[in-house]
Amino acid sequence: MLERSIDLSSNEMIELNNQLRKESEQSKKAHAELKSLFENIEEVFFSIDMIQNNVLQISSACQYVYGFPPQKFYENSNLWYEVIIEDDKEIIQGHYPTMMAGKNLLMRIESVMQTVQFAGLKQK
């Protein structure tokens, strides 16, 4: 009876190990897909840990939209806030308690760089 119990536990361990490998592969695939999205999308999406005050991820379109490469946002975690227009800063300040509570917030903000580009387009 003891031998059968050990065999059953070994089989369960093998099954668990296989399941963990599969889940790890799925997680790696999802991470690669998300990374590809962030690198190829023409909009700027970013994720910030407001508690630790650091940029977790930002799409490479920030170079075109904000005029700064992603590395600058990782080095200066407040840069995303510094490059937006004043009206949007007021909106963000209104959502500050939500962000500091660690809750997700999805909003569209306009950068100073975008305003300059749009103004240039209107003048032509």
The mean per-residue pLDDT over the stretch 66-92 comes to 89
Place of tokens 């065999």: 7
Q: What are 55's strand-pairing partners?
A: 48
| Gap between the Cα atoms of 47 and 45, Å rounded | 7
pLDDT tens for 42-68 read 888 888 888 888 898 888 888 888 889
The mean per-residue pLDDT over the stretch 66-90 comes to 90
Q: Which two tokens stand for residue 15?
A: 């099954």
pLDDT at 6: 58
pLDDT at 22: 93
| Gap between the Cα atoms of 39 and 57, Å rounded | 10
pLDDT at 33: 86
pLDDT at 72: 95
pLDDT tens for 1-47 read 555 555 657 788 888 889 999 999 999 998 888 778 777 878 888 88
Pick the residue with more confidence: 120 or 14? Answer: 14
Ramachandran angles phi, psi of 78, nearest 5° = -100, 0
pLDDT tens for 83-99 read 888 888 888 888 888 88
Q: Which two tokens stand for residue 50?
A: 């407001």
Place of tokens 């840069």: 79
pLDDT at 3: 56
Domains and CATH numbers, the chain: 2-123 (3.30.450)
DSSP string covering 18-48? HHHHHHHHHHHHHHHHHHHHHHH-SS--EEE
